Structure 1
Amino acid sequence: MAELNEPLSAFMTRTAGPGTLAGLARLSGGANMESWAFEWAGAAYVLRRAPSAEYMADRPFAHVDEAALVMAAHAGGVKAPEVVGVLGDADGMGTGYVMRRVVAEVNPAKILANPPPSLIADLGRELARIHALPMEVIPAAIPLMDTADALAELKRRFLVYGGDRPAIALAIKWCEDHLPAPVAPVLVHSDYRMGNIMVDGDGLAAVLDWELAHRGDAHEDLAFGCMTVWRFGQLDKPAFGIGSLEDYFAAYEVAGGVPVDRDRFHFWLVYRTLWWALGCLQMGQAWRSGADATVERVVIGRRTAEQELDLLLLLEDESPADERARALPPSSPVAAAPVGEPTNAEMVQAVRDWMGDTIKPRAEGHAKFEVAVAMNALGIVMRDLDAGVRAEDKPLAEAFLAGTTTLAEPGLLAKLRRGALDKCTIDSPKYAALARARDAWGG
């Protein structure tokens, strides 16, 4: 943090005039970029940055283009942050930009506990505004997404990551078979969900995190915030965990959005769930390669199990009714309780308890978040040590990709359901959809 004081002060003096830097602190969360809150001359700001140009090497566009996009959205009436300056090479802080800070709630749990009455309508309206931005104001660097090409890239990545997860292979094949016809492109935010919006007493206050934006199908944005993972446990409220799809779609269409096609919406719900399953695997690869050695990356790598569970829930209707009614096979037997020396699982439990009792209470800010992530990692290891549960099955994955095996095969859906339940129980036992699937499937 100290290394930012001098260069950030110099940058703000040039950008906003004389002042004194105060309250510089890294904000918790932010899976891909650093965000730093601070005050300058009595006003609140946020620095969004990557520490080096190398960190941005695999990004589709640079921070200067992202900042230009956010400025275009703000000027077009979208509740995007107000950018006040863009970092240059001479500023010595990597790449990024500074925005005026919006004072509002961003924590999904707090928002969903008591959402403003207007919020679902606000979300539909704001998305329509994003999609209505004229193409000529969008920076040229913002890419155009071809759905078939993007799906082929997901398949390529899956094969690079081993090509051995049947639920992911099933979803890839389904998307190939249900690829929608091209439509006129709009600006797609591509990360429009709880966690990337800010809310105050009047409703939606800001739309954050524009780094994945592209030109493409409006239904991709419509579906993304409705994924199970982004409803944060509110499974009975399919639109953002806040309300009904009918109210969400109606608000979007009334505000000028394209007419909602339910089949196209379902395709994008499957596609983006598949995309995030591979995104989780990619996080693990980033840790393994050394590109990002944080514990957060390796833990997110184990959240693939959540998305595999969700993919089965989205695609199980492709199976015949008698297969959907079939009883599940039993889980692997549970290891016997230890009676001798402490087991590996007990050793991990002891370290995890020590971190929770001793380290976490003393940590502050982002360090407290990192301790919580590390404890989560140890919890996964502790549950996994004696379970003997694996998700990999390359022959079955290859059969799904080739179309030689489908969910009509007797007993296959039940086998996949059992595997998804057992793997998610180890990797994400508190995932809300796990309990719902266990009840629905008799597991």
Structure 2
Amino acid sequence: MSTTTEETALARRVRERLAEHHPGQEYGDLRTLPGGHSGLTYSITAGPVSYVVKAVPPGRRPIGRNDVLRQARILRALAGSRVPVPMVVAVDESEPAWFAMEFVDGEAIEPVLDEHKLDPEPCRRRMLALADVLRDLHGTTSAESAEPLDPAAELAMWSRTMRAVPLELRAGADDLLDALATRIPDAIPPTLTHGDFRLGNVLCRGERPAAVVDWEIWGYGDPRIDLAWFLLFADHRNFPQLGRAIPGLPTEHELLTGYLDGRPEPPAFDWFRALARTKMAAIMGHNLRRHREGTHHDPDQERLPPTIAAMIRAAHDLLDRRP
């Protein structure tokens, strides 16, 4: 079947299920939403109401980022919690699986990396508010389950990614991975984690988070992993030739203080800050390799080497700091 035929069949299935909520309404076309990195992402209207549909690509197995049903489960588990998420309205497990959720109107902007015209003060207030959301996420209990990922397993996963990056793009990375491996901290009780928690994955209205999105890699793991990743995006200087200065943006210390809300800093936190930089370097190196090999053509990836090098250097520096 052609892509058009497959999308037509998917649209029919979606309309049939949405008709349960909107009998007698007219339905719009299934339109591809740009920017999605997991499965297929569409929008559709049912009368005056808009929905987002996420589906497994035809012929693909529903695993990893394509496991849209796993995403639907965690969204449903978080419904009604202090963590704002889109409401799931329909789930269809027959192949190819899909689910529909409410369309949340809002902006998802990463202040130091995205091109935008948002004033600095809303950027500041959004990030401070998001620190509270992350604390609430890590304090949420859910009936959903996943195999907990401890610091050693997290490091092993990103070590594999880093070692697949060509040597010329990751100078100093092997020594860094060895240093991380010899200093793996003790685990603390696992919590629900997002996996890519940052302002660019949160739809905001004005200064407030309206919905945390992109739950492709949620899991149960060390909350320090989520926290260190979130803090990484507070300072444009972490991203040479990529980042932009935003006056008044909260510092890592301010965000950490907001998240902790009077609690002490988590133990061995510099190790997790170093891991976050290692993870970023590995992801960027992987993306640049794919571009250069022709797997995913994106000339903008050629801007990444200075940031990859800076992330590796900063991770070394964090590990060398005395407690």
Change (3 A) 1:172 1:23: same
3-state SS, counterpart of residue 89 of structure 1: coil
Residues 268-317 of structure 1: per-residue CA shift (max 9 Å, x gap): 22212212322234446667899xx4424x86587355222222134347
Would you say 1:264 and 2:268 are equivalent positions?
yes
Partner-residue secondary structure (3-state), 2:105: coil
Report the counterpart of residue 295 of structure 1 in structure 2: 297
Contact 2:29 2:44 (C-alpha < 8 Å) held by counterparts: yes
Task: Report what 2:103 is aligned to.
Answer: 101
* Structure 2 residue 16 is the aligned partner of structure 1 residue 13: yes
CA–CA distance in structure 2, aligned partners of residues 226 and 235 of structure 1: 15
Measure the CA separation in 1 of the matches of 2:94 and 2:302: 33
Question: Partner of 1:153 in structure 2?
Answer: 157
* Equivalent in the alignment of 1:411: none
| Cα distance between partner residues in 1 of 2:290 and 2:61 | 12
Q: In 2 relative to 1, CA 60–145 (structure 1 residues): closer, same or farther, beyond 3 Å? A: farther
1:350-386 Cα offsets, whole Å, 9 max, x none, are xxxxxxxxxxxxxxxxxxxxxxxxxxxxxxxxxxxxx
User: Retained in 2: the 8 A contact 1:281–1:302?
Assistant: no
Q: Could you tell me whether the CA contact under 8 Å between 2:281 and 2:312 is conserved in 1? A: no
How do residues 220-299 of structure 1 correspond to structure 2 at under 5 angstroms? 220-228=225-233, 233-234=243-244, 242-254=249-261, 259-261=264-266, 264-283=268-287, 293-296=295-298
Give, as a single letter, the amino acid of the residue that structure 2 aligns with 1:270. Answer: A
- Per-residue CA deviations over 1:5-58 (Å, capped at 9, x if unaligned) read 45324323323343333264323223344322221121011112331362644x
Could you tell me whether the CA contact under 8 Å between 1:133 and 1:187 is conserved in 2?
A: yes
The counterpart of 2:81, out of the listed 72, 76, 79, is: 76
1:2 Cα offset (Å): 4.6
The residue number in structure 2 matching 1:218 is: 223
Which whole-Å deviations, capped at 9, do the CAs of 1:173-200 have from their partners, x for residues lacking one? 2312332111011111111112101111
- Alignment TM-score, normalising by the size of structure 2: 0.79
3-state DSSP class of the match of 1:54? coil
Query: Is 2:38–2:65's contact at 8 Å kept on the other side of the alignment?
Result: no
Q: Is the 8 A contact 2:201 2:212 kept in 1?
A: yes
Does structure 2 retain, via aligned residues, the 8 Å contact 1:67–1:97? yes
Call closer, same or farther: CA 1:52–1:174 in 2, change over 3 Å: farther
Alignment of 1:375-390 (within 5 A): none
Q: Identify if the C-alpha distance between structure 1 residues 5 and 20 changes in structure 2 by more than 3 Å, giving closer, same or farther.
A: farther
Contact 2:274 2:318 in 1 (8 A): no
Q: Which has the higher helix share?
A: 1
Q: Which runs of 5+ in 2 are unaligned?
A: 237-241
Q: Residues of 2 paired with 1:299 and 1:73: CA distance?
A: 36
The aligned length equals 304
- The Cα of 1:267 is off from its aligned counterpart by 1.8
Partner of 2:28: 22
- SS of corresponding position for 1:225: helix
Structure 2 counterparts to residues 149-228 of structure 1, below 5 A: 149-161=153-165, 165-228=170-233
8 Å CA contact 1:21, 1:40 repeated in 2: yes
Work out whether residues 83 and 133 of structure 2, in 8 Å CA contact, stay in contact via their aligned partners in 1.
yes
Q: Secondary structure, in 3 states, of the residue corresponding to 1:39? A: strand
CA positional deviation for 1:202: 4.5
CA radius of gyration, larger in: 1
Deviations 1:394-414 (A, max 9, x none): xxxxxxxxxxxxxxxxxxxxx
1:120 counterpart = 2:121: no
Change in CA separation of 1:317 and 1:197 when aligned onto 2, cut-off 3 Å: closer
Q: Secondary structure at the match of 1:166?
A: coil
Q: Which runs of 5+ in 1 are unaligned?
A: 321-443
Taking structure 1 as the reference length, the TM-score comes to 0.59
The higher relative CO (CA closer than 8 Å, separation ≥ 6) is in 2
Q: Cα RMSD between the aligned structures? A: 3.4
